[in-house]
Amino acid sequence: MGFFDKFKQGLKKTTQLLNTDIRDLFKREGRLVDEAFLEELFAILIKTDIGVQAGRQIVDQVQSDFRGRVVHLEDVLDTIRKKLKSLLAQTGEPIRWAETKPTVILVAGVNGSGKTTSIAKLAHMLRQQGKSVVLGAADTFRAAAVEQLTIWAGRTGCQIVTGPQGSDPASVAHRAVATAVEQGADVCIVDTAGRLQTQQNLMQELGKIRRVIGKQIPEAPHEVFLVLDATTGQNGISQAKHFSEAVDATGIVLAKLDGTAKGGAVVAIWQAMQLPVKFVGVGEQPEDLIRFDADNFVDALFEGLLGTS
Amino acid sequence: MREGLELVRNALLEADVSYSVVKDFVDRVGAEAVGEAVLKSLNPSQQLAGVVHRELINLMGPVDHSLHLRGDLTILMLCGLQGSGKTTTCGKLGRMIRERGRKPFLVAADLQRPAAIQQLHVLGEQLGIPVYSEPGTSDPVAVCQNAVKEAKKQGADVVILDTAGRLHVDEALMDELRRIDRRVSPEQVYLVVDGMTGQDAVNSAKAFNEALELDGVVMTKLDGDARGGAALSVKQITGVPIKFIGVGEHLDALEEFHPDRMAGRILGMGDMLSLVEQAQQKVDQEEMARAQAQLEKGEFTLETFRSMMAQTRKMGPLQKIMGLIPGMGAANKMMEGLDAEGDLNRIFGIIDSMTPAERRNPTKLIDQSRRRRIATGAGVEPHEVNDLVKQFDGMASMMKRMNSLGIRERVKMMNELQSGGFLNPGAQLTREKKGTGKRLTPAEKARAKKERERELRRKKRQQRGR
């Protein structure tokens, strides 16, 4: 670099400084909104798994709002938080209750996302509310999945309907709903085998389970929950899309949010198809399922990410 | 160039490669590509694509698929987050090891999740592999220690420990893992990672690696549409090789990891889109336009032919290109065992040995002596020059006809050509040389020749009939 280049660069900084808003000059430890600042912001957003598109949108917005001004990163994040909170905010009950009992909930998701554990927690929550619950163990594929749910049924005090391994999951679902109707149970939760959303035949099987339930009670299933692993990245969008197509998912249960993963993929999913998060799994104990709260979720989204880039 | 890098960056981020890994990668590749582009002054985007692909492969390599099994007793330990696929992988590994003629022994050390022990027992039963468990205990360290003793007693030589899924921030459980590691000291510790993991992959992999000093990684659930960027993140953070990938729910769905395939997957290649990109990058648009214009005027020379073939070739091996085009599967099958590349080389050789005048009007100009000269120059037999000229004749007349047709008729015609004896009935692509194992007598040769000629006449008649 020649002498003149250095000189010019020095001048450039001064010019930039002169172009900044005069109010910003008096802010303590503020930062100029320049390429580096925007890149840092982008990094923080990406680390939440929010995705390139949504991240880029937010950064572009910040750029047009604050470009050339001196700000605190924390203030900018505050603005973003407010926007995300209003975007994700929900009103009303997380579960659409049936007018006449039972309310049927179908639970689906990819392998290992935490379906069975989430169902156990959900059952526990409903039992705490004094509701009677029938579980349908329609995961007849994975080894010992039925046993796993049976143990949970015992712990939470629910009735369970099972079938032998390898049997038709739709028939188990059918019997579970029939049992719930017969006994006048408040809620029937049907577990299904984990499946990747690209497995056509298995997705069709899921559609069949849904139809079989619908034949017994016309409005059922009242809720179809997609269980999403919070550590999942951009593939979550594909999961939400395909499961919605196959069984008309009505909401997401975001499992395993007690780790360091942020679960930002649900923001991208909301933007793409307005599929809301209903519950959040935050531990291994039966009571570790809480209602989704946009404020808490968004606050946690950027926690621990500042100054790490 | 900058735009190219931006595209690469977004592709990697969308594939869930961790941000810090992407940043380092793009910075380094950018620097390298600039250096190389200056050196070789090639098309920069083409250069970039090559560098990116190569670098990705480098980063995810070197491959090491060995389980490093010892002669006597080898202990493998699997660990990972909840739901990453440890128990299934345990069964798959057991199956793989038994296929290699060893005696695997599975240990159900997951005492957390209800029915995890039963799950492993069911898998063991399906595979006919012994499974060790201690119902009623709550100390996985003791279970592992007892299991190793039991395995020795039973004469097994590979013990696989299936530990409980745990969060990397759960200090108590991570400590338990460390205790198992100390007491049993497994030869190989593998981290099982969900192939759909997002940005958090770096955090968990780092924590597990610090606690246990991993020896390898198994990546699961890659049979879906996840791009699997976590593979790159985990490799970068831990530095240990990715050994296997899980590609299905069935117990034989465990494959060795290949960095080249993974690189393609992460970049989202291997589909029609990438072919288009390749074509745009590699085909000289101007040259193609010129060839097109010439064709439309009905001027088809060997020069045009050569430049067209050369352009096609830039995209990659012919067979691979055909494979990428939907509906070309049949043509691809036809090409099996054919030495298409060698054929093309010979054709280039022949055309390059011609004078410009000969290339423009081969049928009229090339006589016996010219033919001999060209053949010597290209290192082929004189009849091969003749074959090419004949083939060219067929093609030229076809091209002329094609120009007067609409697009639909053109496609129809191409299909006919493909199903019938290709462009010139006499011309055949050379097969890869294979001995037939028998020598023909002169009489037999004559008969075969007659047979061929009859076939040729029949085909010609058919063509005229149309």
What pLDDT, in 10s, does the model give residues B305-314? 787 777 766 6
Task: Kindly give the residue spans of alpha helices, DSSP state H, lying in B188-254.
Answer: 201-212, 230-238
Over range A188-214, report the average pLDDT. 93
Over range A1-12, report the average pLDDT. 48
Task: Kindly give the residue spans of alpha helices, DSSP state H, lying in B247-381.
Answer: 259-267, 272-282, 285-296, 302-314, 318-324, 329-334, 340-352, 356-360, 362-365, 368-378
| Structure tokens given for B78 | 């699997």
User: Distance from CA of residue B137 to its chain's centroid?
Assistant: 47
User: Distance from CA of residue B316 to its chain's centroid?
Assistant: 13
A281 touches chain B (CB under 8 A): no
Over range B87-91, report the average pLDDT. 95
Mean pLDDT across chain A? 87
Sign of the C-alpha dihedral computed for residues B199, B205, B206 and B208 taken in this order: positive
CB of A142 within 8 A of CB of B119? yes
**A-interface mutation test, from B2, B196, B204, most A Cβ less than 10 A away:** B196
Residues of chain A with CATH 1.20.120.140: 3-90
Over range A276-299, report the average pLDDT. 92
- Residue A176 clears pLDDT 50, i.e. is over it: yes
Residues of chain A with CATH 3.40.50.300: 103-291
In angstroms, the separation between the Cα of residue B111 and the nearest Cα of chain A is 12
Task: Give the model's pLDDT for residue A109.
Answer: 96
Task: Give the model's pLDDT for residue B219.
Answer: 96
**Which is more confident, A189 or A24?**
A189
Task: Give the model's pLDDT for residue B327.
Answer: 42
- Residue B103 clears pLDDT 90, i.e. is over it: yes
- Token look-up 């796993």 returns A148
How confident is residue B319, by pLDDT bands cut at 50, 70 and 90? low
How confident is residue A276, by pLDDT bands cut at 50, 70 and 90? very high
Task: Give the model's pLDDT for residue B204.
Answer: 94
How confident is residue A22, by pLDDT bands cut at 50, 70 and 90? very low
Over range A235-260, report the average pLDDT. 94
- Residue B138 clears pLDDT 70, i.e. is over it: yes
- Residue B135 clears pLDDT 50, i.e. is over it: yes
Over range B186-193, report the average pLDDT. 96
Cα separation, A51 vs B14, whole angstroms? 7
Task: Kindly give the residue spans of alpha helices, DSSP state H, lying in A89-144.
Answer: 115-128
| Structure tokens given for B214 | 């991993």
Task: Give the model's pLDDT for residue B44.
Answer: 56
Mean pLDDT across chain B? 81
Pick B85's closest partner by Cβ from A49, A112, A262.
A112
Type of residue at A205: E
How confident is residue B272, by pLDDT bands cut at 50, 70 and 90? very low
Stretch 117-146 of chain A: residues touching chain B, C-beta under 8 Å: 117, 141-145
User: Chain B residues with CB inside 8 Å of A198's CB?
Assistant: 223-225
Phi, psi (degrees; rounded to nearest 5) at B177: -65, -40
Task: Mark yes or no for CB contact A231/B112 under 8 Å.
Answer: no
Among A22-26, A258-262, B100-104, B298-302, where is mean pLDDT lowest? A22-26
Task: Give the model's pLDDT for residue B85.
Answer: 94
Relative orientation angle of helices A52-66 and B2-14, to the nearest 10 degrees: 130
Stretch 67-96 of chain B: residues touching chain A, C-beta under 8 Å: 81-85
CATH number of A3-90: 1.20.120.140
Type of residue at A89: A
A113 touches chain B (CB under 8 A): yes
Contact residues for B52 (Cβ-Cβ < 8 A; gap 6+): B8, B29, B267
What pLDDT, in 10s, does the model give residues B56-71? 888 998 888 888 888 8
Pick A111's closest partner by Cβ from B120, B167, B221.
B221
Over range A91-112, report the average pLDDT. 91
- Residue A300 clears pLDDT 70, i.e. is over it: yes
**Which is more confident, B321 or B24?**
B24
Task: Give the model's pLDDT for residue B320.
Answer: 55
CATH fold of A103-291? Rossmann fold (3.40.50)
Task: Mark yes or no for CB contact B122/A114 under 8 Å.
Answer: no
B238 touches chain A (CB under 8 A): no
Q: What is the DSSP string of B389-420?
A: HHHHHHHHHHHHHHHTS-HHHHHHHHHHHHHT
Task: Give the model's pLDDT for residue B39.
Answer: 46
Over range B361-369, report the average pLDDT. 85
- Residue B13 clears pLDDT 70, i.e. is over it: yes
A280, containing H or E segment:
strand A277-281
How confident is residue B403, by pLDDT bands cut at 50, 70 and 90? low
Pick B14's closest partner by Cβ from A150, A230, A234.
A234
User: Chain A residues with CB inside 8 Å of B203's CB?
Assistant: 259-261
Over range B2-18, report the average pLDDT. 84
Most confident of B31-40, B199-208, B260-269, B434-443: B199-208
Cα Rg, chain A, nearest whole Å: 24
What pLDDT, in 10s, does the model give residues A37-80? 899 899 999 999 999 999 999 999 999 888 888 888 888 888 89
Stretch 246-265 of chain A: residues touching chain B, C-beta under 8 Å: 256, 258-262, 265
A290 touches chain B (CB under 8 A): no
User: Chain A residues with CB inside 8 Å of B226's CB?
Assistant: 233, 235, 238
- Taking one residue from A and the other from B, the number of pairs with CB-CB distance under 8 angstroms is 144
Pick A43's closest partner by Cβ from B14, B19, B167.
B19
What pLDDT, in 10s, does the model give residues B210-243? 999 999 999 999 988 888 999 999 999 999 999 9
- Residue B423 clears pLDDT 50, i.e. is over it: no
Task: Mark yes or no for CB contact A231/B16 under 8 Å.
Answer: no
Task: Give the model's pLDDT for residue B45.
Answer: 56
